[in-house]
């Protein structure tokens, strides 16, 4: 018999209702099964079973990829306005030579933007190897055996205890400048930040693609803004269809405003690169007390090589990636 205590007294449930109540209660108070973990072949890390791992393409049904679609819509809109309205309708009848060099320069920059965007979004930033020297559950790491003598040396330690940093999610020791991303569900080597506009983390292996994406985006937007300005002035002074005036005004305003924002963002990342800092390290330095020397600073030239590669002639091209493994600095 099951009795329920109400505001007006005690009520006794019928046998059928009592059995139903017991069954429903057992469902809600039952302990969920423990989460099991499995190792994926794509990335050497532990991820919860049933949760999709970070893939090399943008998942079409994930709502977190909406910013990527927004960026693609902006790129497509600006391209159509510049090519169809500015080059073909306004510039080509007025000056064939100007139409030629403006079109060639714009398309070269635009192709570099698309390539760097695809590489920054699809190249994995790098993760911790699944070897004994990095796993926390290796007995030799804690007992001082052979593995403890051969474990990699790290500079960064925990703030509260002078001990080796480790990730409780991946169950691995962290190399220097490595941080865990809860969106990508992995530890990222030399993690700069998680960028929602490319739905990927910016880390060791795709940092150059992201930096070049900023450079070519700024160059493309500046090119569009300054070459479309005479067309906008001509459309304002002369009688043109409202559609042409609106599109040129919209394209120039959008391109100019985005050029200002991306130029400031690029300047910030140039500062970080020259002083061997990531965005996370910059934020940690701002919140830290006292002045602490950067252990990763090796001079401006070496700091640039650590991001853009060892060959200065290929710094502005998406080739000649930086040397190293992203584990030691």
309: three-class secondary structure by DSSP: coil
Nearest-10 crossing angle of helices 96-122, 207-237: 150
- Tokens 């989460």 belong to residue: 35
| Residue 189: half-sphere exposure toward Cβ, Cα within 13 Å | 20
Q: Which of 178, 187, 195, 305 is catalytic?
A: 195
Residues in the chain: 329
Using DSSP bridges, classify how beta strands 186-188 and 179-181 pair: parallel, antiparallel or unpaired. antiparallel
The set of residues, in sequence order, having a beta carbon less than 8 Å from that of 149 and lying 6+ positions away, is none
Distance CA 123, CA 143 (A): 37
- Tokens 């305003």 belong to residue: 253
167 is annotated as an active-site residue: no
- Dmax (CA) of the chain: 94
In the chain, at which residue ranges do the beta strands (DSSP E only) sit?
Answer: 3-6, 9-12, 37-39, 46-48, 166-167, 172-173, 179-181, 186-188, 193-195, 200-202
| Residue 156: half-sphere exposure toward Cβ, Cα within 13 Å | 17
Q: Provide the annotated active-site residues.
A: 195
């Amino acid at each position: 018999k099951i009795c329920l205590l109400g505001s007006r007294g005690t009520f006794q449930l019928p046998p059928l209702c009592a059995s139903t109540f017991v069954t429903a209660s057992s469902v809600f108070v039952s302990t969920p099964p423990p989460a099991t973990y499995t190792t994926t072949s794509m990335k050497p890390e532990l991820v919860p079973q049933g949760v999709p791992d970070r893939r090399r393409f943008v998942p079409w049904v994930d709502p977190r990829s909406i910013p990527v679609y927004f960026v693609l819509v902006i790129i497509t809109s600006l391209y159509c306005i510049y090519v169809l309205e500015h080059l073909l309708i306004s510039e080509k009848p007025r000056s064939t030579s100007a139409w030629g060099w403006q079109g060639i320069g714009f398309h070269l920059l635009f192709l570099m933007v698309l390539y760097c965007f695809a590489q920054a979004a699809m190249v994995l930033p790098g993760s911790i190897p699944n070897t004994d020297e990095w796993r926390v559950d290796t007995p030799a790491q804690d007992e001082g055996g052979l593995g403890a003598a051969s474990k990699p040396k790290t500079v960064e330690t925990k703030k509260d205890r002078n001990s080796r940093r480790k990730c409780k999610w991946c169950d691995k020791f962290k190399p220097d400048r490595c941080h865990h991303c809860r969106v990508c569900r992995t530890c990222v080597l030399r993690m700069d930040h998680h960028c929602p506009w490319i739905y990927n983390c910016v880390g060791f292996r795709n940092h150059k693609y992201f930096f070049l994406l900023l450079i070519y985006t700024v160059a493309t937007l500046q090119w569009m803004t300054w070459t479309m300005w005479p067309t906008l002035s001509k459309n304002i002074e002369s009688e043109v269809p409202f559609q042409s005036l609106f599109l040129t005004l919209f394209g120039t305003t959008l391109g100019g405003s985005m050029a200002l924002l991306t130029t400031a963002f690029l300047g910030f990342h140039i500062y970080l690169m020259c002083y061997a800092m990531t965005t996370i390290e910059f934020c940690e330095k701002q919140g830290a007390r006292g002045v602490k020397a950067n252990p990763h600073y090796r001079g401006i030239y070496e700091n640039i090589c650590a991001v853009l590669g060892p060959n200065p002639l290929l710094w502005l091209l998406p080739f000649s990636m930086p040397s190293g493994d992203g584990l030691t600095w």
